[in-house]
Structure 1
Amino acid sequence: MILTDKEYSKIRITQVTGRYVTNEHIQEFLSALSTDFAVTDIGLSVQRNKIQSITFGHGPKRILIWSQMHGNESTTTKAILDFLYFMQLDEQFVSKVLEECMFKIIPILNPDGAKAYTRVNANGIDLNRDAQDLSQPESQILRHIYKEFEPHYCFNMHDQRTIFNVGDTNLPATVSFLAPAFDVERNISSTRAASMLLIAAMNKTLQTLIPGQVGRYDDSFNSNCVGDAFQMSHTPTILFEAGHFPNDYEREETRKLIFHALLAAVETISNDSLESFTIEDYANIPDNNKLFCDILIKNAEHIDAKLPKASNLFVLYREVLQNRTVFFQPTVLSKADSELVQFGHLTKDCAVAEDVAWLTVNGILELIK
């Protein structure tokens, strides 16, 4: 099922937008959910902020979803809110899904990191590298829910940086997926195969919306990563990576695409239609590469005579939280960090007066000189 933009605009949760999303932002929405949606406090973070889950549906196929394991990766949380709203509608599609599936969703696993807009939790630990030690309360809560709920599928929801492109193309990896490995050799078990087939289903939908802009994330094995650990426990697990869409640094377009991916996934599960796809379909999704910067500056020697002719400089935005708003602070990449860069989401030419004026107004020219 694919909603039109007009249909999607009616279910998009407009009170939660932008990159900064915390517990505070989502409470009004959660409190207004139908009584068929059980909102439960499932534990406390390092700083004693509550971690919540939403449970709904009454089918035999159990799906566990968690977002903002990394506090500064909020796009999928916004998509989850849209999904939750849609799942309350009196629609034939919704009725079918709720008859076949039961969901448990943790919208913000790392509320301390979300509030501080950091990847790590309040103890400075990356929760996605804590799957074996379980040293953090947030990691322990997720593992407890996993064991208690006994899911048939796990969706591990993340954001990825603007540096990622698809294959060798100049197309951004707007959405990326991974069927995590369960061993160093990256073998394909029946559960990993199920992850691959479900990703193939989502990719089929997304190719109609963003052709060529879906990538496949690196599948190097790391047992400390939650996705790999759950795959080791024989649960089909899927990594979602919400990436960059042109001119969408607030990631509202990407939010919509993650919503559509979720619909495609649950439709496939509820219809038992995994067999419509193949492992080859998954393998044919191009790998992610890191060939992008945010601003490619051409002919930089026009503003810095020390540079050789036809010099390029590369700018990457750093996300900075100030007064509850995320700002994008430009930084010029070093020569070592920019060796692989080939493309810019925006290109400016220092031989063009209008482009130099833009660089000046946006405070980038002074970074270069």
Structure 2
Amino acid sequence: MKIKLLVIFNLLLISSLHVMSQPAINSAAVEKVWAQYNKYKEPAITNRFMKHAQMMPLIQKHVDSKFVSRDEIGKSVRDRSINHLIAGRGKTKVMLWSQMHGDESTATMALFDMFNFLSAKDDNEGLRNLILDNLELHFVPMLNPDGAQAWKRRNDLEIDINRDARMQVTPEGRALMELAKKLQPQIGFNLHDQNYLYSSGRSKNSATISFLAPAYNYPKDMNDVRKRATQIILSMNKALQTKSPGNVAKYNDDFDPRCFGDTFQGMGISTILIESGGYYQDPEKQFIRKLNFLALLNAFESIATASYEKEDLKDYDLIPENDNSLYDLFIKNVTISKEGHEFKTYLGINRTQIRNPDNSGMTYSGRIAELGDQELMFGYDEIDATGLKFTPARIKTMTRAEWDKLSPNQELDLIKGGYLFVKWSDSKSPVGAVKNRLLSLTNNKESPVEEAGIGQSAHFLLTRDGKPVYAVVNGYKVDLGQPAKVLSNTYGY
């Protein structure tokens, strides 16, 4: 009996020594990488409009370095390659796919930052080896390359790939399903973008990152597969709350058998949806890209150490749900004169995104989206216009050469004088976006905006006793008490 006890004791001792010999990785290691993020950020990706042709050399860089192996798992409708990249030597298989909606690229950017971190040789080797020794990582960046090329949600058959899990009409959807069946990963990450006007609950906090552990049936039961996805989400949420508190939400979990996340959950793959929304003054989603990197790094660490198993499922209920409570600009208590009536009201203003002809960027057109009492609505920017009156702006006539010579300070002075539009006296001005100005252009004799109305262009002044205090230029707030600062774009009419 003593011999048996001694053997058991020795086995336990060896086991404990083995555990102790593993790298002591915790949130401090992840925090250190976060602080050094800029050295891993892929410099070739400067905005969210990367195309397949720009992505392929980045993939090849990591293939050539032997960090990843690559195989082609299919072709898009337009014959662009769908790439499967493999890294790591662990037992737990994790599959990640991004940009199944072509105009949702934030996570794709973050994946290439992650490749740079995982392939580096530096003082973060402990965390890196922990991940690569314990996980076998499978990446499918840019599942919908045709959609990315045209900067559109759907593929070139005009089908939403994420609603094609059941019928599998799309070649892109078939490629993803066949890979999942072949690999049978334990964990999957479904990486998307969502409307930037979503809020975290009914609040002014944008839903910068939203999570979902999809349901696998209509009753929305919680089995061990879905439980694991939920616990990993809770681990990521804790990390994100330290960097962007209040900006995390969760998606509605109604079951949809057409969706890949719901389907994979039912196949036994613990699937996590990550949606990248909006963040103040981050139109190119570069800070949100960094948050994606952090969320995935934290997830990899928690999966490698199984630390997510300590998370309490009840905490998932505490994450606010997405809510549509935000405007680009929200103006409260503004006095408006209209149809012979003067009244105080609220204005909600949004800036529509307009694709450049080559799908390489966006310009913006601001319009009044709502007028009236709006309880519990908020804005990325807000103006309390108590005591201020909606006032149409005037048109300044000048030559094109005079326009070209205007400095931002001179433009701001004209706005303080009641002008928001310039009409050229010697030629016709362009129609559409006007870059890096404060004033807009017009070919009309009268102001394009005479009164507040839903759908009306958002160019007007907020005045006190006839003196401008704020200007709204193409849906952007301009505080006339602040130094001049040009806008992303004004507009020509």
Match in the other structure for 2:36: 7
Q: Aligned letter for 2:91?
A: P
- Give the TM-score normalised by structure 1: 0.92
Match in the other structure for 1:347: 382
Q: Alpha-carbon deviation of 1:355?
A: 2.5
Aligned residue pair count = 367
Larger RCO: 1 or 2 (CA < 8 Å, sep 6+): 1
Q: Alpha-carbon deviation of 1:317?
A: 2.9
User: Within 1, Cα distance between the matches of 2:119 and 2:333?
Assistant: 54
- Out of 74, 98, 122, the residue aligned to residue 43 of structure 1 is 74
1:197-216 to structure 2, matched below 5 A, reads 197-216=231-250
CA 1:72 to 1:341, structure 2 compared with 1: closer, same or farther past 3 Å? farther
CA 1:183 to 1:27, structure 2 compared with 1: closer, same or farther past 3 Å? same
Q: Alpha-carbon deviation of 1:150?
A: 1.0
Match in the other structure for 1:356: 471
1:1-369 to structure 2, matched below 5 A, reads 1-3=30-32, 6-33=35-62, 34-90=65-121, 91-298=125-332, 302=336, 309-322=343-356, 323-332=358-367, 334-335=369-370, 342-348=377-383, 349=385, 350=390, 351-352=462-463, 353-356=468-471, 358-359=473-474
Indicate the larger mover: 319-328 or 347-356: 347-356
Bigger share in strand: 2
Indicate the larger mover: 131-140 or 48-57: 48-57
Q: Alpha-carbon deviation of 1:316?
A: 2.5
Alignment partner of 2:53: what SS? helix
User: Within 2, Cα distance between the matches of 1:222 and 1:196?
Assistant: 18
C-alpha distance after superposition, 1:122-163 (max 9, x if no partner): 111111111100011000000011011111101000011111
CA 1:297 to 1:37, structure 2 compared with 1: closer, same or farther past 3 Å? same
RMSD between aligned residues: 2.5
Indicate the larger mover: 221-230 or 11-20: 11-20
User: Within 2, Cα distance between the matches of 1:252 and 1:141?
Assistant: 29
Which structure has the greater CA radius of gyration? 2
CA 1:120 to 1:307, structure 2 compared with 1: closer, same or farther past 3 Å? farther
Would you say the 8 A contact 1:182–1:232 is kept in 2?
Answer: yes
Alignment partner of 1:311: what SS? strand
Q: Which runs of 5+ in 1 are unaligned?
A: none
User: Within 2, Cα distance between the matches of 1:308 and 1:365?
Assistant: 29
- Give the TM-score normalised by structure 2: 0.70
Alignment partner of 1:356: what SS? strand
Would you say the 8 A contact 1:18–1:252 is kept in 2?
Answer: yes
User: Within 2, Cα distance between the matches of 1:303 and 1:74?
Assistant: 43
Q: Alpha-carbon deviation of 1:306?
A: 6.7
Alignment partner of 2:31: what SS? coil
- State the identity %: 31
Q: Alpha-carbon deviation of 1:320?
A: 2.5
Indicate the larger mover: 328-337 or 185-194: 328-337
Match in the other structure for 2:17: none
Q: Aligned letter for 2:161?
A: L
Indicate the larger mover: 9-18 or 335-344: 335-344
CA 1:290 to 1:337, structure 2 compared with 1: closer, same or farther past 3 Å? farther
Alignment partner of 1:63: what SS? strand
CA 1:357 to 1:294, structure 2 compared with 1: closer, same or farther past 3 Å? closer
Q: Which runs of 5+ in 2 are unaligned?
A: 1-29, 391-461, 477-486
User: Within 2, Cα distance between the matches of 1:306 and 1:143?
Assistant: 62
User: Within 1, Cα distance between the matches of 2:317 and 2:145?
Assistant: 35
